[in-house]
Amino acid sequence: MCDCPDSGIKAQDIMTRDIVCLNLDTDLHECEKLLLERGISGAPVVDDEGRLLGVLSKTDVVNHHFASGEEEGGDERSLRVEKTAGTHVFEYNSPRARDLMSPVPCTAAESCSLGALAALMVRREVHRVVITREGRVVGIVSTMDILRAIAEPDAKCMEHRLDWLAA
Render pLDDT for 94-133 as a digit per residue (tens, 0 to 9): 899 999 999 988 999 999 999 999 999 999 999 999 999 9
For residue 36, is it within any domain?
Answer: yes
Name the pLDDT band for 38 (thresholds 50, 70, 90).
very high
pLDDT (0 to 100) of residue 106: 93
pLDDT (0 to 100) of residue 150: 87
pTM of the model: 0.73
**Higher model confidence: residue 42 or residue 162?**
42
**Higher model confidence: residue 75 or residue 131?**
131
Enclosing domain of residue 41: 11-70+79-166
pLDDT (0 to 100) of residue 155: 53
For residue 112, is it within any domain?
Answer: yes
For residue 87, is it within any domain?
Answer: yes
Mean of the pLDDT values across residues 19-29? 94
Cα Rg, the chain, nearest whole Å = 21
CATH number at residue 84: 3.10.580.10
The answer to whether 78 and 91 are in contact (CB under 8 A) is no
For residue 86, is it within any domain?
Answer: yes
Mean of the pLDDT values across residues 5-16? 83
The answer to whether 97 and 23 are in contact (CB under 8 A) is yes
For residue 6, is it within any domain?
Answer: no
26, 14, 111, 89: which is closest to 60 by C-alpha?
26
pLDDT greater than 80 at residue 158? no
For residue 38, is it within any domain?
Answer: yes
For residue 61, is it within any domain?
Answer: yes
pLDDT (0 to 100) of residue 1: 29
* C-alpha distances out from residue 39 to 85, 90, 99, Å: 45, 32, 22
**42-46 and 22-23 strand pairing:** parallel
- What is the DSSP track for 89-131? EEEE---BHHHHSBSS--EE-TT-BHHHHHHHHHHHT-SEEEE
Q: How many structural domains comprise the chain?
A: 1
For residue 22, is it within any domain?
Answer: yes
pLDDT (0 to 100) of residue 104: 85
The answer to whether 114 and 10 are in contact (CB under 8 A) is yes
pLDDT (0 to 100) of residue 152: 79
